[in-house]
Amino acid sequence: MTTSPLTPGVVPGRLTPDDYARNFADVAPPLGPQAARIEADRCFFCHDAPCITACPTSIDIPLFIRQIATGTPEAAAKTIFTQNILGGMCARVCPTETLCEGECVRNASDGAPVQIGALQRFATDTLMARQGHPFARAAATGKSVAVVGAGPAGLACAHRLAMKGHEVTIYDARNKPGGLNEFGIASYKAPGGFAQAEVAWLMQIGGITMVENWQLGRAGDGGIADLLAEHEAVFLGMGLSGVNALGLPGADLATPATEFIAELRQAAELSTLPVGRKVVVIGGGMTAVDAAVQAKLLGAETSTIVYRRSQSEMPASAHEQEHAATHGVRIICNAAPVALHAVEGGIEVEFARTETTGAGLRKLDDTFRLKADQVLSAIGQSLGATPEGITLAGGKIAVDGAGRTSLARVWAGGDCAQGGEDLTVTAVAEGRDAAEDIHSYLMEV
């Protein structure tokens, strides 16, 4: 992302080094041992445990909290990793307020749920820092599986398959693994290179080979048929590589928010990143919030999210919306973009007010313009190129409950597959479950 004569206000180095360090520090500092024990003691250890049901990976939450309470955080981590091998990252990025903590019975008793996410991070960080890998491979099966995509779904699938004794090759389109965890989340949620450290820790299981800069269907790389010729099974977990187009006059004046976030995540020095004085983000999901907040943290004077529906309908959780508001991000709802205009010194984004009717969303004649020198589009992503021979459903890969696709010996999971909530934890669950089904198929169980 570079400056241009059209947007002279998009410049790097708006803040001091201390400002950057403070703004992009860990958004949720970890609990210490004493604080973790105190928080663990707040758990009622419910026998029906609604928190387990709310967790897409079905972690035995009361058990791991009891293990923390009794001074065995490494055992707690093993409980977590048995179900969710990316439990460390999920502890940082999961919307716990709508999942496990949202169902905690403490909400009804004193209005403050047990800090399950913070306790999970305490346990997983403790084990990852003190011990080697907690799992060992089974005897080699002689079977080989290709995993396309080194994001949460692919990594979870690869680890489970490797643990069962299969040889796994992960093919990823980028120059480093991690997928969404490395390139797509706000930097302050997982600072300190945690995403790469977690991948390196996961790879200690052995039996996994990583092939980078390899894209499915790209000339010179290969397609599904090529992978099936070399491996007994294939898992597709490549996420969503396409970006939904605005489809408006002047749309080329906007930058995909995913590109903005990825560039920020990979920047060695934050002061080199250009950011506008006035930033407008179009969209209402987690990506929109991450982009808008980080623009403010990079030094934008104003950062505004504009969403076409009501605030209660925003895909971003209430917690994320509040996080944005506390960082000075303005949220405008019931306004849909109709055009982007190049004007002297920058851009004007034209919006139409909207209302919801029985026939759906309707644009009104009432319009307004927002001045900006940087516009980010966060209106969703798409699959990109359709894998050969694969049936789609709703623009994603159609799968059954075990992740099987329409093509024999091919499974899929994560954001590229239908269903789920496009969350890291959901992708992990789908990758793990597909691995179990692949194993059963390979071993004819």
3-state secondary structure 311-373: HHHCCCCHHHHHHHHHCCEEEECCEEEEEEEEECCEEEEEEEEEEEECCEEEEEEEEEEEEEC
Q: Give the Cβ contact number of residue 407 at 10 Å.
A: 19
CATH number of the domain residue 94 falls in = 1.10.1060.10
CATH number of the domain residue 368 falls in = 3.50.50.60
pLDDT at 445: 66
End position of a domain, from candidates 78, 100, 130? 130
Judgement on whether residues 126 and 199 belong to the same structural domain of the protein: no
**Segments forming the whole domain that contains residue 168:** 144-241+383-443
C-alpha to C-alpha distance for 53 and 58, rounded to whole angstroms: 6
Judgement on whether residues 124 and 152 belong to the same structural domain of the protein: no
Would 3 be classed as within a structural domain?
Answer: no
Judgement on whether residues 346 and 254 belong to the same structural domain of the protein: yes
pLDDT at 6: 57
pLDDT at 351: 98
Strands laid side by side in the 360-372 sheet = 335-343, 346-357, 360-372
Would 138 be classed as within a structural domain?
Answer: no
Which of 264, 380, 250 has its CA nearest to residue 315? 380
Residue type, 11: V
Counted domains in the chain: 3
Judgement on whether residues 204 and 283 belong to the same structural domain of the protein: no
**Residue 87 three-state SS:** helix
- Across the chain, which has 445 residues, the per-10-residue mean pLDDT values are 62 95 94 97 94 97 98 97 98 95 93 96 96 92 98 98 98 96 94 96 97 94 96 97 93 96 95 96 96 98 97 93 97 97 93 92 95 96 89 94 95 92 93 98 89
